[in-house]
Structure 1
Amino acid sequence: MQRQRTHHSRWLLEALAVFGLIATAWACQTVNVFSHELKNCITKSGRTVCSIETASVLKVNSFKREACIRLQNNNATAMEIRIDWIGLRLLCQKRTVMYTRNVVQKVIDSKRCARMGSCVENKCADINSTSMLEELSIGNSFPGSTYCIESCGGLGCGCLTPSSGCLLYRIYAVPADEETYEIFDCVKWQEEVKLKVRLRRQKEHKFRSYVIGLKPNVPITLPSMKTTLSVLSWQYFNLLEARFVRRGNTTALWTSSKLPLLQCSSKEEADSLKCSLIHTCECTPAESQVMCRCENQDIAEEFHQIGNVLPVTYPFVKMTNHPHYNVIARIEHGVTAELVLNVNETVGNIVTDTTDEICYIANTHIYGCYSCKEGARVR
């Protein structure tokens, strides 16, 4: 056990050393760039107008995070472009599965003799799960199901007639709190690469900075330049198929393998308890009453588990709340992107700048744990 722990410690320190080198050497890195010149011609009303632009394809990723390019014409720099990788965000396209309430299952029963109360004519044959019986009025104002079991009759069972009687009961749900919960998942995750783009044209002393979010094949236009995310590669993980539960502005992972007992189509129906109850009660008749064993479900418990409440952090992804997309997943490692830069300039040649520095690792602190999903991190 001690040897295994020592091995983990050594691996962690090596990983932190690499991280320290990356963090310190934040400068122009070597990236692959492929460029060519394009001539675009537009014909309108019998007149053709052509323009020249330069298209550059470059690859950046979570390791090679900064690309520096100089566009030259006649041995003079026409434009400088610096692209800093911020990260990949996955934007949740929400699909509501249902609304629900935190409920407790209860049972009310009533024994009726033949031709008394609701035990008339065809007796249990005339009663179904949606029946609202006077004998079970306490449970009628709550979501639930009604049942009838044929029971004994005659003097030995407290009835004047020898005909069999009815054992009526209703399983219903009573709210345990005033909260309304929404269960949802993400039917699709929209990819978005966040970049910081800095531009400096000839005779300009300072860079102009822009933070952009690129979606695949959707170009974004900046002054004298258009940027398109053409290729994106990242490793899919099963956590993206998870369901979530929301209470107010708080969201948590839905970790249960079962859906809630109370299932509602809308928030309004959940507020007014116009819902369906999928009960978990197992009931057996016992002469004049039923004996039921019900397994209740505490939805609020999901929010008591701090590790399930967003934001949650795993070694490969961080999930957080978002006011518009509900949930976003930030992937920090293992991502590669191919960008196409279309520049409206006449360019003779393109220069890629690389910073070659001696890096030093400063002492730092780590926090976290070995046996938790977050792992260890550097402050």
Structure 2
Amino acid sequence: MYIPHPENGQIIYLPTEQIISEYEVSVKFWKNGEQVSEMGIKCSAQKHCELIECTVCIQMLTNPQCTPKEWIIILVLGLYFILGFLIMICRILKFGLGGMLCIMRHKWRLCKIIGVLYGYVTPPPILSLRVFLKRRKWRRARKEKAEFTEFKPFTKTYKTNLPREVILITLLLLALPIQSLEIINAKDEHCIVNKEGQRTCSYENVLELNFGLQSQNGQEAQIILQDSGNRPTGKITLKINAIQAVCFRSAKFFTRDFELGANSVYLCSGEGSCTSQQKCETLGVNESISEIPKSNHLPGTSGCLDPCKGQLFCQNCYYSSYTCLFFRCFAEPKSKEIYEIFECPEFGLELKLNITIENAEQKFEKEMRLRPGFTENFKEIKLTATSMTVPPIPALGRSILTDGNRFAIITKEQENSAKRVFCPNINEAAKFSSKCIMKKEICKCEKRKNKIMCGKQNGPYLKDIFMGEKVLPLVHNGLLLKNENKEIVAIPELTAAILQIRLAGVSFKAQIELNTCKITPYEIVGCYGCEKGATFKFTMSYRFRADFSHFNMPFFYQCRHVRANSQQQNTLSTF
């Protein structure tokens, strides 16, 4: 979540699917594109039903276990009104289509009647008399029928029963889980039991998991590994953080903040570098001048003028056919920061996830980045992102300025201003040598007697750009752009991925067969039929070592896998 200008005391509401389990909140603060502070806190899980603060809302429909009575009433009323509306639409369509069919069936007769009424068609006298007689006969029959026909009330009924398919689809949609859970059982031939009764099982499986992500709201999947007797041996947890697009940088040039300066020297004919008039006229822009060595190693432009132009007596030069006024306009660095201007011609997709492998003895964690089609290995587990689906990522269209830590999007005018003096690579920018190129038009010089005076054009400095509004992180063209490990990362909305997990000979040790686990309950609070559920507190002890334990409570219709860390510990389980 990115907030550009937070207010004092601003409240941020976290998604419900994140706070119903143990979660960690971290906050990072940026100032002028540089991270200045970071803090975080670990929070315990919140009860899902207590988070619903409404009388009638969609959350009640999506969580029927919290308010089952209200859920049934709202569902029945909603389906009743929806089906009533659909039936009304069907009736309107039925009468409308019936009228159109009637018009199409008698279209020629209607055309004749309209033509007679408006005088476009003149019927023959015999036809007019025949029509008149038919109408009189029809009116008499209608009058007699109205006098002798008994009134019968309208008794037509319509079926409004709810289809079974609608109820089934609705209940299935509401029963979809938030998290993904897979259970893998080992085969008997893949399990070995040692003398102590400890069972070691290896797994050879390939799974494909589908993930759908919205912005930075992650998704979690668990893979429970069991032996042939359905006893747990380990657990693999995959937490998908985000599908992000990483910028493939293409450097344009490097530069630094600088100030302009100028040096000049006046020479008579035959003195020093003033060997000939042609020498003055053909002096190169980047050529060094030995009489002004202080500025030769800096980026700049050189020039030469003949202020006398054949005068016999001119500014301390007597009988000189020509004179030379050498000058050099140069740029001098004013800070140690080196700036790079680059662009992002394309982005590469990455699936950012955390994998946790846990068994009875130890726990392994690793953060991984998967690219489409590439396989990463971790503890004999191979992960491959076979597919990633993202919305179209618009081209950035602008260059980016960075000093190595901060990043900012710059305009074309700012890029041209930064390119007044530029270097081909970062090494030359660090030296700021004469191999860096300075544009000649930034030096506006004029002759004053035997000296050259150049007007200074120093600003604006590039460091001032990081004080603006285009400093990362920011939202640009609907994408969240941020700096992550000195990389430009774009996070799109509504992404999906297919992750292939291959267990290539992964081994896990099951519990000792001779080990016994004793569970002593000492408190049961609540009931399973209540809205808040039941809390079961018990003491679990065993003979040998810390291990996974599996217990089943039929009266709760649920099972639990519990890991004990000491030979006797108190455990809390909620149902």
Question: Which whole-Å CA distance do the structure 1 matches of 2:484 and 2:218 have between them?
Answer: 28
1:104 equivalent in alignment to 2:259: yes
Structure 1 residues 332 and 208 mapped into 2: Cα distance closer, same or farther (>3 Å)?
Answer: farther
Q: Is the 8 A contact 2:260 2:458 kept in 1?
A: yes
Match of 1:58 in 2: 210
1:251 equivalent in alignment to 2:411: no
Match of 1:119 in 2: 274
Equivalent in 482, 489, 508 of residue 319 of structure 1: 482
Q: What letter corresponds to residue 195 of structure 1 in structure 2?
A: L
Residue 308 of structure 1: how far off its partner (Å): 5.7
Instruction: Flag the structure with higher strand content.
Output: 1
Residue 273 of structure 1: how far off its partner (Å): 3.2
Counterparts in 2 of 1:198-277, with a 5 A limit?
211-221=367-377, 226-234=382-390, 235-239=392-396, 242-246=399-403, 250-253=405-408, 255=410, 256-258=414-416, 259=419, 261-263=421-423, 265-267=425-427, 270-271=430-431, 273-277=433-437
Match of 1:339 in 2: 499
Give the paired residue count.
305
Q: Is the 8 A contact 2:252 2:343 kept in 1?
A: no
Q: Which runs of 5+ in 1 are unaligned?
A: 1-15, 34-50, 346-357, 359-379
Residue 52 of structure 1: how far off its partner (Å): 7.1
Match of 1:295 in 2: 457
Q: Which runs of 5+ in 2 are unaligned?
A: 1-11, 22-47, 49-176, 183-202, 506-530, 532-575
| CA shift digits 1:255-281 (9 cap, x unpaired) | 331225142534366337353231321
Residue 331 of structure 1: how far off its partner (Å): 1.6
Match of 1:144 in 2: 300
SS state at 1:151 partner: coil
Question: Which whole-Å CA distance do the structure 1 matches of 2:358 and 2:286 have between them?
Answer: 72
Question: Which whole-Å CA distance do the structure 2 matches of 1:304 and 1:294 have between them?
Answer: 24
Q: Is the 8 A contact 2:262 2:329 kept in 1?
A: yes
Question: Which whole-Å CA distance do the structure 2 matches of 1:343 and 1:304 have between them?
Answer: 48
Structure 1 residues 168 and 101 mapped into 2: Cα distance closer, same or farther (>3 Å)?
Answer: same
SS state at 2:295 partner: helix
Q: What letter corresponds to residue 262 of structure 2 in structure 1?
A: V
Structure 1 residues 144 and 180 mapped into 2: Cα distance closer, same or farther (>3 Å)?
Answer: same
Residue 344 of structure 1: how far off its partner (Å): 6.7
Structure 1 residues 225 and 120 mapped into 2: Cα distance closer, same or farther (>3 Å)?
Answer: closer
Q: What letter corresponds to residue 245 of structure 1 in structure 2?
A: T
Root-mean-square deviation (CA), in Å? Answer: 4.6
Q: Is the 8 A contact 1:99 1:270 kept in 2?
A: no
Question: Which whole-Å CA distance do the structure 2 matches of 1:223 and 1:109 have between them?
Answer: 70
Match of 1:329 in 2: 489
Match of 2:443 in 1: 281
TM-score, normalised to structure 1, is 0.60
CA radius of gyration, larger in: 2
Structure 1 residues 116 and 288 mapped into 2: Cα distance closer, same or farther (>3 Å)?
Answer: same
1:29 equivalent in alignment to 2:171: no
Q: What letter corresponds to residue 443 of structure 2 in structure 1?
A: C
Question: Which whole-Å CA distance do the structure 2 matches of 1:298 and 1:157 have between them?
Answer: 41
Structure 1 residues 228 and 321 mapped into 2: Cα distance closer, same or farther (>3 Å)?
Answer: closer
Structure 1 residues 137 and 209 mapped into 2: Cα distance closer, same or farther (>3 Å)?
Answer: closer
